């Protein structure tokens, strides 16, 4: 797999028949190793090890109901009261982070109304803080530590 703009770590990959799988510590099972999943596993590791996010307050593949359609948020970070704080959307490294990608995560936020949105393809990472009072948002220069949320 491609080297990413994220810290490397001891990732648990195994071959299952002709395909590879990776162990997702949050879901506690092996999942198909796709380029997007490679980004997810590295980004989650980064949030936990470098930014102090508690693993127990991060969930992968969270289903929401948006306009009577089932959608899945790639990852959701919660506060200690289990209120959603952040949505993270992952793309494969070869997928450019475009306005369409942000539009997707903004649609998910109609349901969750979180304070932070992150989009990453493993090479570029963008984080914005929502300001609901002024109906604006601000791009942050870095991914915030959990203690700063």
Q: What pLDDT was estimated at residue 16? A: 81
Domain assignment of residue 136, yes or no: yes
Q: What pLDDT was estimated at residue 45? A: 97
Q: What pLDDT was estimated at residue 2? A: 81
| pLDDT one-digit tens code per residue, 122-139 | 999 999 999 999 989 999
Percent above pLDDT 70 for the chain: 99
Domain assignment of residue 75, yes or no: yes
Closest CA to 93 of 17, 33, 37, 18: 37
> Is pLDDT of 96 > 80?
yes
Domain assignment of residue 9, yes or no: no
Domain assignment of residue 20, yes or no: no
CB neighbours of 62 closer than 8 A, spacing ≥ 6? Answer: 72, 73, 75, 76
The label of the residue with tokens 């593949």 reads 61
- The CATH number of the domain holding residue 86 is 3.90.1570.30
Count how many domains the chain has.
Answer: 1
Rounded to 5°, the CA angle 70-118-58 comes to 70
CA 132 to centroid of chain Cα atoms: 21
Q: Give the whole-angstrom CA distance, residue 66 versus residue 40.
A: 23
User: What is the average pLDDT across 76-101?
Assistant: 96
Domain assignment of residue 19, yes or no: no
Q: Indicate yes or no: pTM above 0.85.
A: yes
**Structural domain range at position 52:** 35-148
């Amino acid at each position: 797999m491609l080297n990413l703009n994220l810290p490397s770590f001891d990732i648990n990959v195994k071959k299952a028949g002709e395909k590879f799988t990776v162990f997702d510590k949050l879901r506690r099972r092996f999942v198909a190793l796709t380029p997007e999943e490679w980004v997810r596993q590295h980004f989650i590791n980064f949030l936990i090890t470098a930014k102090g996010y508690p693993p127990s307050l991060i969930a992968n593949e969270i289903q929401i109901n948006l306009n009577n359609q089932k959608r899945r948020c790639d990852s959701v970070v919660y506060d200690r009261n289990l209120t959603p704080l952040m949505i993270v959307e992952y793309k494969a490294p070869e997928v450019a982070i475009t306005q369409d990608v942000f539009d997707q995560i903004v649609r998910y936020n109609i349901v969750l109304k979180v304070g932070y949105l992150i989009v990453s393809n493993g090479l570029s990472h963008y984080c914005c803080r929502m300001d609901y009072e002024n109906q604006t948002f601000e791009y942050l220069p870095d991914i915030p530590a959990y203690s700063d949320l």
